Amino acid sequence: HELAGAASHTSGRARKGNSLREAIERETDRPMAKLGWLASLAAAVVVVVTLRSPLAAAQLRPGYYASICPNLETIVRNSVRQSMAQSQISAGATLRLFFHDCAVRGCDASIMIVNSNGDDEWRSPDDQSLKPQGFQTVLDAKAAVDKDPQCRYKVSCADILALAARESVVQSGGPNYQVELGRYDGKVSTKSSVVLPHVDFNLDKLNAFFSGLGLSQTDMIALSGGHTMGAADCSFFQSRIGTDPTMDSGFAAQLRGTCTSSQSSAFLDPTPLGFDNSYYKNLQGGRGLLGSDQVLYTDPRSRGTVNYYASNQGTFFYDFTVAMTKLGRVGVKTAADGEIRRDCRYTN
């Protein structure tokens, strides 16, 4: 019961001095290491429609906790820094966790809930790509916030997750941006609510989902840049090796040597610890790991944006922050339908 016991640090977490590949192989020899956030970022359209609530999103603002918990962002920043020092894969795992949370019931930290009957989002087969280091980062940040008497039990897990995702990007070399705050935590989490796409999704399927969230194709391509960090399990792209003509032959040979077992994984881009535009350069060379990544370049309707981001990192950074802000407004809960959880894993 990994998430339920995640409040205490596990011995499997990577320490400084270990290679990233060693960390991934050790920490992800389980179903939770399957693929990056993009290939898993979706929900049934009927659910997506209910996630767009302009009235709830209107309550969000950067200074929401200015008088409630004035040191909030500093506390979360320092906590995330410690998490990243303890585990090399925590940044990518935390960013991915934010996307998975917002995709299902909105940005309400329902992905964190542990139900005693085992019926919760994080145990859905479609959420097994999530790594425990992302959950631990949020739990540690929540504990740090609640140590401040002024802040105790006044800051939602949903807002802490949003801030932790931002810090994971910034502290990995990515863009800084203001995070709108004021979310309440959701009270419901079920396996059946998790309906996610596959790694073979084409551009039309990707656009259909993101459009349902109020995001454009440009937003989707910018958010895809989150794949600049982390790794994917070989089972999610092995079928492409040697059979997909859009994959570079040299890259295919490299992956064939990497994927020697069902537990093997490969980096999503050459700089898996840094947030940059290498992801898009990879796509240009036919070195996108997942089919749903490479399609962004092979489809002429999205290729121009990929090319532009590959040569203009500043524009990619700006568009990413815009898209992250828009994503953070999805499915926001209010005091009427949410709460401030004392423990992110359990409803009050």
Check residue 61 and report its DSSP letter.
Answer: B
What is the spatial distance between Cα 100 and Cα 106, in angstroms, rounded to a whole number? 9
192 marked among binding-site residues: no
197 marked among binding-site residues: yes
9 is an active site residue: no
Q: Which residue has the tokens 């109020």?
A: 214
- Closest to 259 (Cα-Cα) out of 243, 237, 244, 280: 237
What is the spatial distance between Cα 121 and Cα 100, in angstroms, rounded to a whole number? 9
Q: What are the tokens at 43?
A: 């929900």
Active-site residue identified among 1, 9, 100, 198:
100
179 marked among binding-site residues: no
226 marked among binding-site residues: no
272 marked among binding-site residues: no
110 marked among binding-site residues: yes
DSSP reduced 3-state for 269: coil
- Closest to 135 (Cα-Cα) out of 105, 93, 165: 93
Distances from the Cα of 274 to the Cαs of 177, 228, 310, 331, in angstroms? Answer: 17, 7, 15, 29
Answer whether 104's CB lies under 8 Å from 193's CB: yes
276 marked among binding-site residues: yes
Number of residues in the chain: 348
302 marked among binding-site residues: no
227 marked among binding-site residues: yes
- Closest to 203 (Cα-Cα) out of 294, 121, 284: 294
218 marked among binding-site residues: no
Catalytic residues: 100
What residue numbers does the annotated binding site for Ca(2+) cover?
A: 101, 104, 106, 108, 110, 121, 228, 269, 271, 276
Residues annotated within a binding site: 101, 104, 106, 108, 110, 121, 197, 227-228, 269, 271, 276
State the binding site for heme b: 227
Annotated binding site for substrate: 197
